[in-house]
Amino acid sequence: MPADVTTAVVTDTTAYLPDELIAEHGILRVSLYVSLEGEQRPEIEISGSEYASFYERLRKSDEGATTSQPSVGDFTAVYEPLLAEGKEVVSIHLSAGISGTCESAEQARRRLLDEGKGGERVHVYDSRSGAGGQGMVVLAAAVAAGRGAGGADTLAAAERCRDALEMWFAIDTLEYLRKGGRIGAAQAWLGSALQIKPILTLGEEITPVERVRTRRRAFERMVEYARRRQAAGAEAWVVQHIQDHETARHLVEECRDIFGSEPLFVSEVGPVIGAHVGPGLIGVGGVPSSAIFGTSG
C-alpha cells in the first residue's frame, strides 16, 4: 500500500478477489478457516491449484466440511500495524447473516478502542454478500481509498456499491447448504422429489430465487439475469464458479456480448463458501460502473 494512502481497506478471504487485484489495490485480507476430515486450515493458505483436490475430498466426505470465522486476534494483528501508521481502516466482510466474521472484526475494533490503540479509526462494514458481490464492494472501497478518500468517504463508497449490487448463483444441489446449516429460506425446497438446480442470491441470508431442472437451464437463466442487469444500467460485472471453468468461460463470452466490456474479474469460489454450496456453482452479478469507479469511471 502506498505510504500516501490514508485509508487501508481490509476484507476476508471470502471475497475471492484475484491476487492481481489484491496487489494492485493494496487490499489486506484476514482468513477464515475450513476443516475437512479432521484437518483445519486457514483458507488463505489454500491455493487455487489445491481447489480440485479439496472439492474432490468434499464430494466423498459423509460429514462434509465445517468453517469458522477469524479470531479477534487475527483481526487485531492486521489492524494494529495500520493504526500505528496513522491510517484509518475500512474492514468489509462476509454477510453477518451467515457468518460471525463481522462480529469478530467489531470485537477487535472495540478491543483496540479500549486499549487506546486507535480503534475509533476502524470502520467495520457488513457487505451483506459474499464472493463476487463482496469483492465488488471491496473494490469500490479500494478505488476510493486509492484516490485519497478518508475512512468515512471510503465506507460511503462501499455502501453505494452494495446498494447498487445484484448477484445470482446456481448450484447443483441443496445438500451442502443443508449439511452446513446455512440453508436459510431455501429450507422450503428440501422436500422436493424433483432433481432441481436452485438459483439463489445472498443478502442477510441465502435466499431462493427460483428452481430449474437442468444445468443448461441454470446457465440460460444466468445469461438472462446478466441481460436484466445490463438493462438496469449495470456495466461492471463478474462471473464466479466452482470447479466449472468451461461453463464460466462460456458465461463470460455471453456476458461480454451483453455488457460490451471485459469483466471486473472472474474467480473460483474457494473452500469456505464452497464447503456450504458444493462444486458446480456458477454465478453472475453486476453494478453500474459509477458504483465502483465513481462518476469519472
pLDDT tens column, 276-294 = 888 999 999 999 999 999 8
pLDDT value at residue 136: 96
Q: Tell me whether residue 114 is exposed, middle or buried, using C-beta atoms within 10 angstroms of its C-beta: 0 to 12, 13 to 18, 19 or more.
A: exposed
Judge whether residue 184 has pLDDT over 70. no
pLDDT band, residue 97 (cuts 50/70/90): confident
pLDDT band, residue 296 (cuts 50/70/90): very low
Judge whether residue 239 has pLDDT over 70. yes
Q: Give the C-alpha separation, 261 to 282, whole Å.
A: 20
Q: What's the grid cell of residue 28?
A: 489486506
SS3 135: helix
**Crossing angle for the helix pair 245-259 and 215-231, to the nearest 10 degrees:** 30
Same fold, 7-163 and 166-293: no
pLDDT value at residue 192: 52
Average pLDDT over residues 143-155: 96
Query: What CATH number has the domain spanning 7-163?
Result: 3.40.50.10170
pLDDT band, residue 98 (cuts 50/70/90): confident
Give strand pairing partners of 282: 170, 241
Closest CA to 259 of 281, 232, 226, 293: 226
Average pLDDT over residues 29-35: 97
Judge whether residue 222 has pLDDT over 90. yes
Within a 13 Å sphere around the CA of 104, how many CA atoms are in the beta-carbon half?
Answer: 24
Q: What CATH architecture does domain 166-293 belong to?
A: 2-Layer Sandwich (3.30)
Average pLDDT over residues 218-223: 94
191, 209, 171, 41 alpha-carbon torsion, rounded to 10°: -100
Judge whether residue 128 has pLDDT over 70. yes
Q: Which of 105-109, 198-202, 219-223 has the lowest mean pLDDT?
A: 198-202
pLDDT value at residue 274: 92
State residue 200 phi and psi, 5-degree precision.
-130, 165
| Domains in the chain: boundaries | 7-163, 166-293
Please, are residues 146 and 5 in contact by the beta-carbon 8 Å criterion?
yes
pLDDT value at residue 38: 87
pLDDT value at residue 203: 73
Cα 170 from chain centroid (whole Å) = 15
pLDDT band, residue 141 (cuts 50/70/90): very high
pLDDT band, residue 209 (cuts 50/70/90): confident
pLDDT value at residue 61: 87
